[in-house]
Amino acid sequence: MFGWEFPPHISGGLGTACYGLTKSLTKENVEILFVVPKLFGGESLPRVDFIDAGKVPIKINQRKEIITQQIEIPGEERTEVEVSITTIEVESNLSPYRSTSYQSPVLHMESWSYTLEPTTSEVTTEVEVSDTFTHKFSGTYGPDLIEETKRYAEVAAALARELTFDIIHVHDWMTFPAGIAAQEASNKPLIVHVHSTEFDRSGENIDPRVYNIEKEGVEKSDHILAVSKWTKDILVSRYKIDADKISVAYNGIVPKDLKDLPAIPSIGSHVVTFLGRLTFQKGPFYFVEAARKVLEKFPDAHFIVAGSGDLFPQVVERVAQLRLSSRFHFTGFLKGDNIDKVWSVSSVYVMPSVSEPFGITPLEAIQAGVPVIVSNQSGVAEVMPHAIKVDFWETDVLADAICNVLAYESLSTTLKKNSLNEIKNITWDKVAKKIKNIYHELI
């Protein structure tokens, strides 16, 4: 199994999903080798062996030619001279339009210390030798991400040639090249697990490099897991994938005991929370616009924005332009107990995503006893019939929904009760059983 992140070192929902799924798969007696670009420490699960891609040796193939030439010099005995020539096969970034003079192998002459005379015979012996090196990985989503995915694929191919396994399971586009490389090296079936697409993350302004990686991954896979019908529809319409090749496997939630939730000082009785990355996909500006309208009816309301992302400066600037800074609290990226602390003071959680493949955070909010409002443009809306759902662009409707939850305690209580009943069936154990059956069908 290949994944770009794993708890406790995560940047979003992908790592959380990998943890929940692998934990439940082990309950189904599935043994897992989980390969991450870099192990930061603390990654641990029973029956899961973690592999740090940066510590996997990659072989460099070399071909050594040993040429023995017998030279006959008048008046002297026949002399044998041995010449060793090594050809090293390495990756090249050369342009395909270089002149032919650049296309011959690079030869390293280890010894050549005489002038050739006419020879009577020549014998050439080829010997295969090899050396190894390791790749370096940041294990993050930095500017070198595309290149890291290529190096990660080299590691995957090396592992696939050495290890014994039955199936390859990869999570999101960063790992698709690795999955394909492992598939080609081992001839084992490949499952690609699509947690989000480039259209979810970027709208119509997609990065063609990422799109092409995603398209190649879903095309070359033996089967595709989509986290929602929303995502499946995108794969069919935008990537032209046969719907029969795709199974919907909703995300789950890890049961959690919340009896002793850590508390923080209350900032008011009406607290509205946004928790997620501050990116186009998550719709933070719609949250800010709705907040402005909520404050017209609830001037004492406070708004928590928990998360980081490329739109962070612009969101802060927009709040300042609307003169709402005193009502907003920006926490930055949170995880673990700090998220639980936010839930402990939240009156309602809002997820106004523009395109959300699934959305685990609403489930976590419900588990913590917080009513939720989600966008219709999300996968989680498919499994929560009793949640309040709105179109992300309808900020008036969103503001009204928030106000209703704040104003009517009975509505808040009903939402919490019904939603808690719904998430009892949204478990990773249920998802793992389905995926294990798919494994057996492919093996």
* CA triple 346-352-357, angle to 5 deg: 115
pLDDT of residue 59: 85
Lowest mean pLDDT among 119-128, 131-140, 364-373: 119-128
How large is the average pLDDT for residues 238-262? 86
Q: Compute φ and ψ for 79, nearest 5 degrees.
A: -115, 135
Sequence-distant (6+) residues with CB within 8 A of 359 are 13, 351, 353, 374, 378, 379, 380
How do 388-390 and 302-306 pair as beta strands? unpaired
CB 423 within 8 A of CB 363: yes
pLDDT of residue 83: 54
Indicate the residue type of 202: S
C-alpha distances in Å from residue 151, one per residue of 165, 357, 373: 21, 28, 41
pLDDT of residue 11: 80
Nearest Cα neighbor of 152 from 177, 122, 132 is: 177
Describe the chain by its helix, strand, coil percentages, rounded to 5.
Answer: 40, 25, 35
Q: What strands lie across the sheet with 119-133, from one edge to the other?
A: 107-109, 79-88, 58-71, 119-133
How large is the average pLDDT for residues 201-207? 92
How large is the average pLDDT for residues 310-326? 97
pLDDT of residue 107: 40
Mean predicted lDDT score pLDDT of the chain: 87
Sequence-distant (6+) residues with CB within 8 A of 77 are none
Query: pLDDT tens digits for 224-242?
Result: 999 999 999 999 999 999 9
* CA triple 377-382-385, angle to 5 deg: 110
CB 36 within 8 A of CB 43: yes
Q: Classify residue 246 by its DSSP letter.
A: E
424: left (phi over 0), alpha (psi -120 to 50) or beta: alpha
pLDDT of residue 96: 31
C-alpha distances in Å from residue 178, one per residue of 65, 163, 291: 33, 15, 43
State percent of the chain over pLDDT 70: 82
> What domains are defined for the chain?
13-56+135-252+432-442 (3.40.50.2000), 58-133 (no CATH), 271-426 (3.40.50.2000)
Query: pLDDT tens digits for 40-81?
Result: 998 989 999 999 999 999 987 655 555 565 655 556 555 555
Residue 77, number of CB atoms within 10 A of its CB: 6
Residue 129 has pLDDT above 60, yes or no: no
pLDDT of residue 119: 52
Nearest Cα neighbor of 149 from 212, 92, 238 is: 212
Query: pLDDT tens digits for 158-198?
Result: 999 999 999 999 999 999 999 999 999 999 999 999 999 99
Which tokens in the block code for residue 45?
């699960």
Tell me which range, 19-28, 121-130, 131-140, is most confidently predicted by mean pLDDT: 19-28
Residue 276 has pLDDT above 60, yes or no: yes
Question: How far apart are the C-alpha atoms of 354 and 394, rounded to whole Å?
Answer: 11
Question: How far apart are the C-alpha atoms of 20 and 18, rounded to whole Å?
Answer: 6
